[in-house]
Structure formats: C-alpha cells, structure tokens
Structure 1
Amino acid sequence: MSLVAILAAFGGGVFGALIGGTTAFIFTGFLGMAGVAAAVAAGSTLILDYVAFGPFFGPHVAFVGAVAAAAYAGRISKKHLESATFIDNPVNARTILGDHEDKDKIFAEDDRHVDGADTTVPLFKTTDPMVLIVGGIFGILGYFVEYLYGPILGIPIDTIALTVVTFAIITRFLFGHSGLTGIFPTDEKRFPFSGKMLLFNAIWGFAFAGLVGYAAIALDIDNIGFTISAASLIFLYFGLKFPVSHHVSMVAGHAAIALASPWLAALFGLFAVITGEYVQRLFNTHVDTHIDMPAIVIAFWSFIVLGVIAPFI
C-alpha cells in the first residue's frame, strides 16, 4: 500500500460522494463488465483490480464514502430544519413551520435538503466542503479495512462486502438517530411478507442464480453476474420498479466457483434473495442512514460458502 493508493482512495471517496453512492456503484458494474471482457480476452485483470474494484469505483471506497457523506449531510440538514435556518426570513420560518406538522416535508422542498439514507442523490448539490471531506476520509478508511480483512487477515469472506457492512454500521451510529434497526410505526408490521411474494422472489432468485452460476463456471470468473446486476441499477433512475439483484448474483458466483456447481449456485441464490427481504426490513427501513442490504447478504452467505463449506470439499 502506497501514498499514491491512499490518495486514490481519498479521491474515490470524494468522487463517490460527489456523484452519489448508487451512481458510483453503477459505474462499478459497467467498468466491471469491461474488466471481465478484458480478463477473458487478454487475461488481464487490471481494470477489475484497479478501477472497478480498486480505489476508483470499488464499493469499499466509493460507496462507503458516499454513504458516510450522505449520512453526514442528512444530519446537517436536520439541524437546519430544527433551527429553521434554511428559510432566509425568520418571520416566514415561524409562519411556515407553525402551520405544518410535517416539517421534514417542508424542508425537503429546499434544495439543501439531503435524506441521509438516500444513496441515489449526488451530493454535488450541497456545495458543502465537509461533505466531500467526509466522503474522502471514509474512502481511505474503507481501503485500509478491506486490505486488513483480505491480504493481511485472509478472512474467508467477500471482504469488500464485509467492509461495506462495517462502515455502514459505524456510519449509522456516528451520524444517525434511528438506531440499528430503525424506528417502526406501532401499527406497521416489520415483516409483512405474504407466501406469494416470497415464492415470487424465490423463483427469480433460484433461476437467476442458476444462470449466473452457469456463466461463472464457464468463464471461471465469480463476479460476472455481480457486474451485470450492478450496471442494471441504472434503470432505477428511469423510475422503473426494478429488482436489486447483486446480492443474488454475487452469492451465486461465489458458490459456483467455490463449489463447482451451478445447482448449488442456484440454491444459494434462493437463500440470498429470501434473506435479503428480511435484512432490508430489519436494517434499512424507517432509518436515517443507509445500511446496505446486499452487502450484508453477500458477506453472510459468502462466509458460509467460502469459510464453512468450501474447506471441506
């Protein structure tokens, strides 16, 4: 690890905050697909190692930085709301806030508002230097911790996902007020899942994971499905109800390569998609910072595959 790499990680965290975590992650997908193509065609993993999953767009750098920056910006936004300093005229502030119960809705209309749990919004709009600095600092920390988990400790797990989870939890307690598992209304079920909905998810999770397993084994590349899933999130920006699937494809990729079976990849993909539904409701619903559901699912099931099952096969 060099000073240049640390500089790059700072830049990755700043750029992730600037354009938004989800946007940075979509770039991970597109650059990842280019890297897979280069690896298959020329045997070079430089794009994968140094760009898609390195300090440029690696989720442990760019996404971690963006999540922390959004949480920080969201906390600052709430402070502005409480003091009504976002309205230039104090008289208007008293009038507007006095006539509306939903102060968050009023504040959301101001361009300086940031939802700390929203990773889709580019934080360029804040024009706040500290937002970018927070992103850069967390980018460096993410780079260090992933290096600790991987090359130094050699934990048999997806170390990028584990790093994302680590800093999401740190960010939640550092900048958030909703607690680890959110603040649910008393009249709302935490897990309102029907059998039909779970079956629907199980079918697409199993089928998609089997497809990913087939491709991963054919190319001998575990993250081929992950890069496609990441890039596909661009359709969310068109307002479509589009599936988030990279937890399924990455778990399937790990299982396919480690266990040499597309059938087991399909099975673990089914496990991943169902687990994801519960994790999303448990850690990322009614919250004020983002804890990434796919990262939790990938970290958990990759450890089961790589750390528990694979050593005995």
Structure 2
Amino acid sequence: MVADLLLQVPIVDMPVADLLLLLIAAFGGGAFGAALGALPAFCFTGFAVLAAEGARLLSGGSDALDAPGILGAIAFGPVFGPHVAFAGGVAAAAYAARKEGVMYEPEDGDYHVAKDIAYALGTRPDVLAVGGIFGMIGALGTAISGALALPWDPIAIMVVVSAVLARLAFGYPIIGAGDRDILDMSPFERGEERSPPEGRSDVATDGGTQTATRLAVEPWLPHQYEWPNVAAIGLVTGLLGGWIALATGSPFLAFGISAALLTFLNLGVENIPVTHHMTLPASTAALAFAADPTGMTQVAAIAIAGVFGVYGALVGELVQRIFYAHSDTHFDPPAAAIVVATFTIVVLAIVGVFPSTSWVPNLGLV
C-alpha cells in the first residue's frame, strides 16, 4: 500500500523513463522548496494533505476525487513532499549560509543563520541547484525505502538522512556540543553566549564564524522544550489525532492540520506549537490498533493515540537536544520522531500487540 500511496509505482518495477521523470520532478520540487524556504514549503504540504483527504471524504471515502493523486503526487510527492521540498530547502539554507550576501543576517544573531528555515532563498541558481540535488536524493531514497518496505515512514527517514548529508557536504558538525552537556537547555535560559576567540570580534560557531552574537545553546522551539509542557501538548494533540483518525479513517488528516497550522508560526505568531510528529503517530497507532473500532475498542484506540502523541513529542524533544540545539543547521526533530514512532508501531505489530501497521511498511512481516 505505501508504495502506491507515496510513490505511485514501486521503484523496482519502475521503467527507466518513469524513474527519470520522478528525479527531474524532484529536482524541480527541491529547488522550489529552496526558493520558498523549507518551512513555507512544508506548510503547503499540510494544505495539500487537507485538499486530498477532504476530496476523499467528500467522495464518501472513495479515492475517485483524488485522481491522479493529490496525496501521493503533490502532498507526498515531488511537489511538496517533505523529503523533496522541505529537505531541499534545509540543505539549500545550509549551503546559502556559507555564501556572503545570500541570507539576511538577523540583527540579534541569536541562532546560526543556516537554521532560519522560514527564510525564502529566492532565485539564485546555485542555491536552487543545491535544493534540487537534495530533492532528487530525497525522492530516490524514499522510493528505495518504500520499495523495500523498510519498517518506518519512508518520507521521514529521508528528511533525517538529507539533514545529515547536508551537514557533511557543507562542513557542519553532526552534533556540535563540544564539552557542553548535550541535554542541558539551561544555558539558553540564562542567555549564555558563545565567546569570540581572543583578539577577534566574530563569534566561533561549530561550522565557521559569524559576526553577530550567538547563543551557546539554541533550542529548536524556545516556547516548546520543557519536558512536562512537551508531554502535555503531545497528549492533547495525540488524543485529537486519534479521534480524527477514528472519525474519518484517515491516518494523514490530523498531520495535514498540524502542518498547515505552521503557517501561523511562519508568519510570526508566537507560541504556536509544532505537533505533526504527535498527530501522525497518534493517528497511525489508533488505526493500527483498530481499523474499524466500536465501543470500548474505540476508547482503547484513542487512549493508545494519546500515548503515541506523548511518545512522538518526547522523542522529538530528545532529538532536538542532541542534534539541533548545539549544531549550525536545521535537523528536523519531528521527522526523526516520526521515524522512531512508526518503527515502534511496526515492532508492536510484529510481536502481536497491534493487528496491523496501518499504512507503515513492515517488510511483509505483518
């Protein structure tokens, strides 16, 4: 199912012309994601998911109104697929931060400029090319993961892999904590800054230097990093994600809502939570537990969704502390959390706790 949904045709059966078509489209999608900026592109992923799932629901659950595939070809394909447009935008930002005059340096300079994924990178050919190349990498990797039925979200895994490749390609550290406690966010709370080398006015970073002052620790979301608060929003959105999945039969609708709501974050509305790594695992777990729930089974399914909402939230926070807060480029905590959560669903299905894995590939073991 996942190959048909996310990729249209499994790569092992794909004619050479179709594979070239996919890669060419993915180059365009990655470059477009770089032009728009990674976060604006991902917001449109959410809108495309809403359009696709709305069409399916209006057709009475049929996929007829989704032809030829808004979900697979647009939302999760070469146009706005996170492995293409978002990942391409992240990689392009990492590249552009190395080039003088490409990215605007914020006046406060609190964070490394390469982390500004809300910034539209415009039309510079070399920046677009980087986005396009990483879009192709994302499309190819996702196609391979889906065709092999590897036991996780094939899109999310390539968002993670792409972020690592961008750091390696452009000379950024994978973690970058140095001698700091990797899980400690208190330097951020105290406003501690990185000190410039003696005799210099610029600030040492993990991947070079920049002239603006920079915080010693840079949490992914300054308004969403305390463990109890993260768990609380995970529970709330997990329950809602489970309810939406049970009411509509869609594991992706709540994800689309979460992604589309990030438009407000991109526009500067303060304290907007990021929740797609909570709602997607929650919806998926609810449907994996009970595809057609009634009565107490439905109650159990929504409770499980709440647990997976918390799980996705806490894994995302752990990932941000290890891979985001101390390094220089964007490393997406939600994508990593979705990989871990979907893999967990597969494991639970293999051992018999869940009767299915919903849409998640499972190596044919379930």
TM-score, length-scaled by structure 2: 0.71
Amino acid at match of 2:322: L
Tell me by how many angstroms 1:216 deviates: 0.5
Determine helix, strand or coil for the equivalent of 1:251.
helix
How is 1:2-81 mapped onto 2 (pairs within 5 angstroms)? 2=18, 3-42=20-59, 43-44=62-63, 45=66, 46-77=69-100
Whole-Å separation in 2 of the counterparts to 1:285 and 1:36: 35
The 8 Å contact of residues 117 and 287 in structure 1, kept in 2 or not, is answered as no
Classify 1:265/1:187 alpha carbon distance in 2 versus 1 (closer, same or farther; 3 Å).
closer
- The 3 A distance-change label for structure 1 pair 133 and 183 is same
Give how far 1:187 is off.
8.8
Residue aligning to 1:115:
113
Question: Are 1:180 and 2:183 counterparts?
Answer: no
* CA distance in 1 between partners of 2:323 and 2:182 (Å): 15
Runs of 5+ unmatched residues, structure 2: 1-13, 190-224, 291-300, 356-366
Please say if 1:269 is aligned against 2:309. yes
Q: Report the residue type matching 2:31 in the other structure.
A: V
Q: How many percent identity over aligned positions? A: 41
Does the residue aligned with 1:76 lie in a helix, a strand or coil?
Answer: coil
Q: In 2, Cα distance between the equivalents of 1:154 and 1:141?
A: 18
Alignment of 1:160-239 (within 5 A): 160-177=155-172, 179-183=173-177, 186=180, 190-192=184-186, 197-236=226-265, 237-239=267-269
Task: Give the direction of change, closer, same or farther, for the CA distance of 1:187–1:293 in structure 2 (3 Å limit).
Answer: closer
Pair 1:249 & 2:249 matched: no
Distance in structure 2 (CA, Å) of the matches to 1:213 and 1:202? 16
Aligned to 1:288: 328
Distance, in Å, in 2 between the alignment partners of 1:188 and 1:204 is: 23
2:289 to 259, 284, 287: 259
Q: Structure 1 residues 186 and 198, CA, compared in 2 at 3 Å: closer, same or farther?
A: closer
CA deviation map 1:199-243 (0-9, x unaligned): 232222112101111111221111111100000011111341211
- Cα 1:189–1:262 shift into 2, 3 Å: closer
> If each structure's helix is expressed as a fraction of its own residues, which one has the higher value?
1
Q: Which residue of 2 aligns with 1:147?
A: 143
1:191 is displaced (CA, Å) by 4.4
1:129 equivalent to 2:116? Answer no
Q: 1:182 offset after TM fit, Å?
A: 2.6
Shift of 1:172: 1.3
* Cα RMSD after superposing both structures: 2.5
**Separation in 2, partners of 1:304, 1:297:** 10
Runs of 5+ unmatched residues, structure 1: 81-85, 87-103
The alignment partner of 2:135 has SS state of helix
Deviates more, 1:219-228 or 1:196-205: 196-205
212 and 108 in structure 1: CA distance in 2 versus 1, 3 angstrom threshold: closer
Contact 1:226-1:249 at 8 Å conserved across structures: yes
How far the C-alpha of 1:108 sits from its partner, in A, is 5.0
For these two proteins, the number of residue pairs brought into alignment is: 278
User: In the superposition, relative to structure 1, how do residues 189 and 139 fare at CA in structure 2: closer, same or farther (>3 Å)?
Assistant: closer
- TM-score, normalised by the number of residues in structure 1: 0.82
Displacement of 1:246 after TM fit? 0.7
SS in 2 for 1:75: coil
For residues 191 and 11 of structure 1, what CA distance do their matches in structure 2 show?
38
Do the aligned partners of residues 199 and 144 (structure 1) sit closer, same or farther apart at CA in structure 2, a change above 3 Å counting? same
